[in-house]
């Protein structure tokens, strides 16, 4: 069965290049429609029957083309819902939580609002719990292993899917600043309590997601995550540890504006 041209319909020719499999030509055309917005984020991909009819190919060829898009992280297939274009949006780890001042780095209660501007309508789910510090966490916070600390677990969602997952931790003396009050961002509350952030240290690494992370973030096959570990300091005293901030690597970029101190 020959691959039919769609030049008249879409202004492009999806006939395969010499030696190129037909499913890759179809995948390239669908990718182009996703990238230029003809297939919008969250929109359903045309049905297999529709694609078979449009391109004049077998069901197997259509499925191979969709598998390429899924592997590239462009579409997500959900049982009972079919295949949809992955909803994406630009984010950065800070999302406006830090800003530069003349006297250094200070917290601001803009994280959720900026995330909403970047991602569209964003929902933030927050949970608080007292947990014992693991050895790794104790070293980051500067406390003894097993010390009770406050964990603030955040899940940022947009378009029905999680965009990032994070766990922040605070020592008991810092947690007394009222960090569980939902009306305040933690760093704004800490600043109001007299805790000035003078330095931030971040370590960024990549790894494959856990099963829970993959499900929560609706990741495609073989899509890694970026993991950010952050310590916020007041002079030499750690007042917050984010361990970890987990971001899908296929739809996030990290942007840093570094200053050289002389």
Query: End-to-end distance of the chain based on CA atoms, in angstroms?
Result: 69
Write the pLDDT tens digit of every residue in 38-92.
998 888 999 999 999 999 999 999 999 999 998 877 888 877 778 988 765 554 4
Q: What is the CATH number of the domain that holds 61?
A: 1.10.10.10
Say if residue 177 is in the same domain as residue 108.
yes
Helix (H, G, I), strand (E, B) or coil at 35: helix
Please state, in angstroms and rounded to a whole number, the distance separating the CA atoms of residues 196 and 199: 9
Write the pLDDT tens digit of every residue in 204-245.
999 999 988 888 887 866 788 999 999 999 899 898 999 989
Domain span at 222: 98-251
Say if residue 65 is in the same domain as residue 110.
no
Say if residue 55 is in the same domain as residue 109.
no
Say if residue 59 is in the same domain as residue 111.
no
Specify the pLDDT at position 124.
78
- 187 phi-psi bin (left φ>0, alpha ψ -120 to 50, beta other): alpha
Number of structural domains (the chain) is 2
50-85 CB burial, b ≥16 within 10 A, e <16: ebbebbebeeebbebbbebbbebbbbbeeeeeebbb
Q: Is residue 164 part of a domain?
A: yes
Length of the chain equals 262
Q: Which of 31, 54, 85 finishes a domain?
A: 85
pTM of the model: 0.61
Which of the four pLDDT bands, split at 50, 70 and 90, describes residue 249? confident
Contacts of 95 (CB under 8 A, 6+ apart): 111, 114, 115, 118
Q: What is the CATH number of the domain that holds 174?
A: 3.40.1410.10
Write the pLDDT tens digit of every residue in 19-50.
778 999 999 999 999 988 899 888 899 999 99
Say if residue 59 is in the same domain as residue 109.
no
Of the candidates 211, 192, 196, 207, the one whose C-alpha atom is nearest the C-alpha of residue 247 is 207
Could you tell me whether strands 148-158 and 122-132 are parallel, antiparallel, or unpaired per DSSP bridges?
antiparallel
């Amino acid at each position: 069965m020959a691959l039919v041209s769609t030049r008249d319909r879409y202004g492009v020719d999806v006939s395969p290049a010499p030696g190129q499999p037909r499913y890759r030509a179809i995948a390239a055309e669908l990718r182009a429609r996703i990238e230029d917005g003809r297939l919008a984020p969250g929109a359903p991909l045309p049905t297999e029957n529709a694609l078979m009819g449009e391109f004049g190919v077998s069901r197997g060829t259509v499925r191979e083309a969709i598998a390429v898009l899924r592997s590239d992280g462009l579409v997500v297939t959900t049982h009972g819902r079919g295949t949809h274009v992955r909803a994406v949006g630009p984010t950065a780890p800070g999302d406006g939580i830090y800003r530069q001042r003349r006297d250094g780095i200070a917290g601001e209660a803009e994280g959720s609002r900026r995330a909403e501007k970047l991602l569209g309508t964003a929902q933030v789910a927050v949970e608080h719990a007292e947990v014992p510090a693991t050895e790794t966490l104790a070293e980051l916070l500067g406390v003894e292993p097993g010390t009770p600390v406050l964990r603030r677990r955040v899940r940022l969602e947009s378009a029905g899917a999680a965009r990032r997952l994070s766990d922040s931790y605070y020592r008991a003396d810092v947690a007394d600043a009222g960090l569980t009050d939902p009306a305040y961002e933690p760093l704004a509350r800490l600043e109001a309590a007299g805790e000035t952030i003078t330095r931030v240290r971040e370590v960024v690494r990549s790894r494959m997601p856990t099963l829970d992370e993959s499900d929560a973030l609706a990741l495609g096959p073989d899509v890694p995550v970026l993991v950010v570990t952050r310590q916020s300091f007041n002079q030499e005293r750690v007042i917050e540890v984010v361990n970890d901030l987990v971001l899908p690597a296929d739809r996030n970029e990290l942007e840093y504006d570094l200053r050289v101190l002389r």
